[in-house]
Amino acid sequence: MATTPHPRVRFAPSPTGKLHVGGARTAVFNWAFARATGGVFVLRIEDTDPERSTAENEQVILRAMRWLGLDWDEGPEVGGGYGPYRQSERFDRYDELVERLLAEGKAYYCFCTPEQLEADREAARARKDPFQGYQRTCRSIDPAEAKARAEAGEPCVVRLKVPEDRGDVLVHDIIHGDVTFNAAELDDFVIRRTDGSPTYNFCVVADDSAMAITHVIRGDDHLSNTPRQVLVYEALGLEPPLFAHVPMICGPDGKKLSKRHGATSVEEWRDEGYDPEAFVNYLALLGWSLDGETTMVSRATLAKEFSLDRISKNPAVFDTKKLQWLNAEYLKAMGDEEFAREVLEPQLTAAGLAEAGCVDANPAWWSLLAEILKPRTKLAPDVVGLSRFLFGEGVEIDEKARAKALGKEGAAAALEAAEAALLPLERFTGDEIDAALEPLPDELGQSKRVFYQAIRAAETGSLASPPLGASMELLGKGRSLKRLEAALELASA
Ligand code: GLU
């Protein structure tokens, strides 16, 4: 293990697309591990593929990280003592290391053409050679001659010379335990391509060592790359870091999570209205648990309690229903003022409702609205539909409510009685309104259902709404009474 007193971990996304759920979960684990151990969380952008990496994607990733609240201690836009933090700005460093390995005889130039490589593979297959990798053809070229040919411009790659007596490569993984990779399958792999660009397995090692990374925590789709990276560490005379390969995330059908299962990028989830803290909580539970039962684990708890030994090696299942449930729990746990500030105001403003007027909106009004909507809100944008009836003088009564509530015999009597009972109220509060309406069904000889459906349809325009008394308090006395009168015109006697 590296000797840094505190762990240094990194999240190393390639900016070839948006930040996806799998990457975000890896980021959460790295961040939480750094925070819980007093370590350092590094963000490194792996943009060695110029065709697929864009500055715009990098921004999208940084934005998603910020939305999730995963602050990084070193990396783009914050700097740090181990930069630069973009691989595209570190090419001279990779070159230096490749040159060193060439000079030490631990790497060599290879001039084999793609056609020759294919022919060699074909021949190995035909003779059923257990070793199907690179046949090490160019190992035997005299290094000085190879260097001269390379310098003269002959197309070539650089390959790592895997020591012939190396034997199987054992990777000790914190999550998977000891994993052995057959030496026969590890050929002399390319570390620098014909165009001079270094390969992933090389850059990662160059950077993880230069950045003094102590723990590599990443998706287990990278486990198969790890033996090659161990060989690069060995060639460079460096101690590898500790590895923790986290389990894959599947959809409910057991297949690797993908577009087929719905939204995959963090931004899509954000746009659907998920709360970032609930989302981080949910990501953390994909393969990790606090104690096997607690489901609400705040960012603060993660930052204190996260540990690698509670990561499972089994694939995690992404369950949108559970995420939704968790999101609703977070909304319910908010204080009324927080809910008003974080959910109601932004959502209703975005929907153009907050400015619609007709609302005497003071802090108490917002708090009451928060109180009645919180238990009904699964996703932040739900509040728009739930509270639309409050904005505007009158309300449009939907078809179903007209037919089922106002079309019923006795509807007009219910509306008239309600109006008469509410008119004298001085304090137009939910409790007073409920108390004034309560005796009316009996007095009218009506079922509660018929009575309240008529009032609800008149006030809210539909058959389902938040509690009636509180809704009418929010509407205010003037509008509540006007709506009763307006409905009366539509109601059956
Ligand atoms: N850039 C790699 C990826 O996005 C991550 C490599 C690593 O974590 O070692 O998959």
Three-state SS annotation for 3-23: CCCCCEEEECCCCCCCCEHHH
Query: Could you report the per-residue pLDDT of 306-332, keeping only the tens digit for each?
Result: 999 999 999 999 999 999 999 999 999
pLDDT > 90: percent of the chain: 87
> CB neighbours (10 Å) of residue 273?
18
Checking if the pLDDT of 109 tops 70, the result is yes
Task: Work out the widest C-alpha separation in the chain, in whole angstroms.
Answer: 107
For the entire predicted model, the pTM comes to 0.90
The protein residue whose alpha carbon is closest to atom 5 in ligand 1 is: 12
Indicate the pLDDT class of residue 248, thresholds 50, 70 and 90: very high
- The answer to whether the CB of 12 is under 6 A from ligand 1 is yes
* Candidate CATH numbers 1.10.10.350, 1.10.10.10, 3.30.360.10, 3.30.70.20; the one for domain 392-493: 1.10.10.350
pLDDT > 70: percent of the chain: 98
C-alpha closest to that of 328 among 387, 373, 264: 373
Angle at 40 between CA 37 and CA 46, to 5 degrees: 130
Burial of 96 (0-12, 13-18, 19+ CB in 10 A): exposed
Strand partners, 244: 217
Query: Residue 358: what pLDDT?
Result: 56
C-alpha closest to that of 85 among 21, 11, 19: 11
C-alpha closest to that of 174 among 310, 287, 299: 310
Query: Could you report the per-residue pLDDT of 94-105, keeping only the tens digit for each?
Result: 999 999 999 999
- The answer to whether the CB of 44 is under 6 A from ligand 1 is no
Indicate the pLDDT class of residue 359, thresholds 50, 70 and 90: low
Query: Residue 353: what pLDDT?
Result: 86
12 alpha carbon – ligand 1 mean position (Å)? 5
Query: Could you report the per-residue pLDDT of 392-413, keeping only the tens digit for each?
Result: 899 999 999 999 999 989 999 9
Atom of ligand 1 nearest to the CA of 46: 1
Atom of ligand 1 nearest to the CA of 13: 4
Query: Could you report the per-residue pLDDT of 164-222, keeping only the tens digit for each?
Result: 888 999 999 999 999 999 877 789 999 999 999 999 999 999 999 999 999 999 999 99
- The answer to whether the CB of 222 is under 6 A from ligand 1 is yes
CA–CA gap between residue 82 and residue 87 (Å, rounded): 12
Mean pLDDT, to the nearest integer, of 279-291? 97
Identical fold, 259-333 and 392-493: no
Strand partners, 9: 41, 215
242 alpha carbon – ligand 1 mean position (Å)? 16
- The answer to whether the CB of 264 is under 6 A from ligand 1 is no
**Pair 209, 100: CB distance under 8 Å:** no
Give how far Cα 21 sits from Cα of 41, 126, 214, 279, 419, Å.
19, 43, 24, 10, 54
Query: Residue 289: what pLDDT?
Result: 97
- The answer to whether the CB of 14 is under 6 A from ligand 1 is yes
Please write down the HEC assignment for all residues of 153-201.
Answer: CCCCEEEECCCCCCCCEEEEECCCEEEEECHHHCCCCEEECCCCCECHH
- The answer to whether the CB of 218 is under 6 A from ligand 1 is yes
The protein residue whose alpha carbon is closest to atom 7 in ligand 1 is: 12
Q: Is 147 a catalytic residue?
A: no
Checking if the pLDDT of 133 tops 80, the result is yes
Checking if the pLDDT of 55 tops 70, the result is yes
C-alpha closest to that of 471 among 384, 389, 377, 382: 389
Atom of ligand 1 nearest to the CA of 221: 10
CA–CA gap between residue 324 and residue 177 (Å, rounded): 34
Query: Residue 108: what pLDDT?
Result: 98
252 alpha carbon – ligand 1 mean position (Å)? 25
Query: Residue 2: what pLDDT?
Result: 41
Going from N- to C-terminal start, the domains of the chain cover 91-246, 259-333, 335-390, 392-493
Indicate the pLDDT class of residue 267, thresholds 50, 70 and 90: very high
Tokens encoding 421: 């009972």
Checking if the pLDDT of 491 tops 90, the result is no
Indicate the pLDDT class of residue 492, thresholds 50, 70 and 90: confident
- The answer to whether the CB of 27 is under 6 A from ligand 1 is no
Q: In CATH, what is the architecture of 259-333?
A: Orthogonal Bundle (1.10)
* Candidate CATH numbers 1.20.1260.10, 3.40.50.620, 2.60.40.2310, 3.40.50.12160; the one for domain 91-246: 3.40.50.620
393 alpha carbon – ligand 1 mean position (Å)? 56
312 alpha carbon – ligand 1 mean position (Å)? 20
Candidates 33, 43, 46: which one to mutate for ligand 1, based on the most atoms within 8 Å of Cβ? Answer: 46
CA–CA gap between residue 398 and residue 118 (Å, rounded): 70
Candidates 43, 49, 204, 246: which one to mutate for ligand 1, based on the most atoms within 8 Å of Cβ? Answer: 204
- The answer to whether the CB of 245 is under 6 A from ligand 1 is no
Query: Residue 1: what pLDDT?
Result: 42
Indicate the pLDDT class of residue 356, thresholds 50, 70 and 90: low
Query: Residue 339: what pLDDT?
Result: 96
13 alpha carbon – ligand 1 mean position (Å)? 6
The protein residue whose alpha carbon is closest to atom 6 in ligand 1 is: 12
Mean pLDDT, to the nearest integer, of 336-341? 95
Atom of ligand 1 nearest to the CA of 16: 4
Candidates 90, 218, 220, 225: which one to mutate for ligand 1, based on the most atoms within 8 Å of Cβ? Answer: 218
Amino acid identity of residue 329, one-letter, is E
Checking if the pLDDT of 3 tops 50, the result is no
Strand partners, 171: 179
258 alpha carbon – ligand 1 mean position (Å)? 18
Strand partners, 160: 107
The one catalytic residue among 106, 259, 374, 482: 259
- The answer to whether the CB of 226 is under 6 A from ligand 1 is no
219 alpha carbon – ligand 1 mean position (Å)? 8
Query: Residue 360: what pLDDT?
Result: 65
